[in-house]
Amino acid sequence: MKKAPVKQNTPEWLEFRKDKIGSSDAPIIMGSSPWATPYQLWEYKVGLRGETEKNEAMKRGNALEPQARAEFIKQSGIYVEPEARINLDRHWQIASLDGYNEERSIAVEIKVPGQKDHEEALSGKIPEKYIPQLQHIMAVCSLNFVFYFSYNETSSKIITLERDEAFIQKLIKAEEEFYQCMVHFEPPCMDERDYVLREDAEWNTKAKQWMALNSRLKEIELAEDSIRKELIQLASSRNTQGAGIRVKKSIRKGRVDYNQIPELKDVDLNIYRKGKIECWTIEKK
């Protein structure tokens, strides 16, 4: 791994991490985050959604982080400081470390959480939603363990989490797939949280009308396809007309498979793409 070329929590850092996958992205990609979905994260990464505004809990956590880090140093006897790292093998994988000691290869993730998560930590357990974030840090920094430090103004707890190689391999696979979604501008699967629920009368009426028309349309399409095949068979490989219709044969060139062109192997074709196109799909749930 190597140091990131920009300083954390700066406009340059926000821009730098936008086309990469950081430790806070890991719980979202693995589906354990209660705050965002993979699709919402993808929207942000490709520029379709702005930076999430910080709520009061997030502001509180940022404000108390230096105080929490000082308390961790006091309790553990290990000096750490904030740092950002990049994985050498996977250039898109980064980690923003709340505390890191390079000489001893020790990292700590600091949380100033709500009461429920803090009580869980005080009992000796790391909240499940943070596990991918900690394993991501170990994957980026090649660590065998990482410290989780839960803190508030009256109490704190240091918990050690060991490296889980099987989990990390699943994490890397999921993150690689998500990164490809970013590169190729192909959204990941959406879940229920990505939809706004409408149950008002106007929506219900139009939805029922669409479903009725869609069912009839499918029946017509199936019937048309069946008769189309029969007409082509009756034409016996000849251009044929009669009764107001024509059956005409045409030959087209096959599409170019750009993946098979060796000269284009290392060429970034995305720079030749035209502007984004907004598309909508209506389908039965």
Residue 202 located in a structural domain: no
Greater model confidence, 196 or 55: 196
pLDDT at 58: 80
Domain with residue 18: its CATH number is 3.90.320.10
- Last residue within a domain, chosen from 148, 168, 192: 192
- Last residue within a domain, chosen from 147, 163, 192: 192
Residue 282 located in a structural domain: no
How many domains, the chain?
2
Same domain, yes or no: 85 and 161: yes
pLDDT digits (tens, 9 = 90+) for 218-276: 999 999 999 999 999 999 999 999 999 999 999 888 888 888 888 888 887 777 878 77
pLDDT at 4: 79
Burial of 35 (0-12, 13-18, 19+ CB in 10 A): middle
Same domain, yes or no: 151 and 19: yes
pLDDT digits (tens, 9 = 90+) for 168-194: 999 999 999 999 999 999 999 999 999
Residue 120 located in a structural domain: yes
pLDDT at 232: 94
**Which value, in Å, is the radius of gyration of the alpha carbons in the chain?**
27
Domain residues for the domain of 265 are: 207-248+257-272
Same domain, yes or no: 215 and 104: no
Residue 278 located in a structural domain: no
Same domain, yes or no: 65 and 150: yes
Same domain, yes or no: 182 and 71: yes
Query: Does the CA dihedral 158-104-164-27 come out positive or negative?
Result: positive
- Judged against a pLDDT cut of 80, whether residue 54 lies above it is answered with no
Residues near 214 by beta carbon (within 8 Å), at least 6 away in sequence: 282, 284
Same domain, yes or no: 6 and 77: yes
Residue 45 located in a structural domain: yes
Give me the residue label for tokens 């029946």: 219
Of the candidates 144, 156, 150, the residue with the CA atom closest to the CA atom of residue 126? 150
Same domain, yes or no: 134 and 45: yes
Residue 99 located in a structural domain: yes
Give me the residue label for tokens 């406009």: 11
Burial of 39 (0-12, 13-18, 19+ CB in 10 A): middle
Same domain, yes or no: 132 and 238: no
Same domain, yes or no: 222 and 96: no
Check if the beta carbon of residue 136 is closer than 8 Å to that of residue 171. yes
pLDDT at 165: 97
Tokens of 17: 């991490």
Same domain, yes or no: 148 and 221: no
* pLDDT band at residue 156 under the 50/70/90 scheme: very high
Same domain, yes or no: 105 and 18: yes
Residue 159 located in a structural domain: yes
Give me the residue label for tokens 């029969």: 230
Residue environment code for 139-163, b if the CB has 16+ CB neighbours within 10 A, otherwise e: bbbebeebbbbbbbeeebbbbebeb
| Whole-number average pLDDT of the chain | 92
Same domain, yes or no: 137 and 227: no
- Last residue within a domain, chosen from 192, 217, 236: 192
